[in-house]
Amino acid sequence: MNCDDARQLLEVCADGELGAGDSVRLEHHLEDCPDCVEMLGALRTLRKLVRDGATYFET
């Protein structure tokens, strides 16, 4: 897997919706690619900030 392939999976991974096969392939790539690790961390941080700042209304 190269970075282009991995970047297509990073958003799905950050959402926790990556399938088992793709997850294993991505994990192997992340072991050797600090750039993709950094991008995944940034995506997870962004998602957390959006969730924490979102307004929820009780029904």
For 23-40, write each residue's pLDDT tens digit. Answer: 999 999 999 999 999 999
DSSP state letter for 56: -
Is residue 58 included in any domain, yes or no? no
Of the candidates 36, 32, 43, the one whose C-alpha atom is nearest the C-alpha of residue 6 is: 36
Q: What are the C-alpha distances in Å from 22 to residues 7, 36, 43, 46?
A: 12, 15, 18, 22
Report the number of distinct structural domains present in the chain: 1
Is residue 47 included in any domain, yes or no? yes
Is residue 19 included in any domain, yes or no? yes
pTM: 0.80
Q: Which domain holds residue 25?
A: 3-53
**Residue 49, pLDDT above cutoff 90:** no
Is residue 59 included in any domain, yes or no? no
Is residue 32 included in any domain, yes or no? yes
Residue 22: per-residue pLDDT: 95
Is residue 16 included in any domain, yes or no? yes
Is residue 35 included in any domain, yes or no? yes
Upper half-sphere CA count for residue 58 (Cβ side, 13 Å) = 0
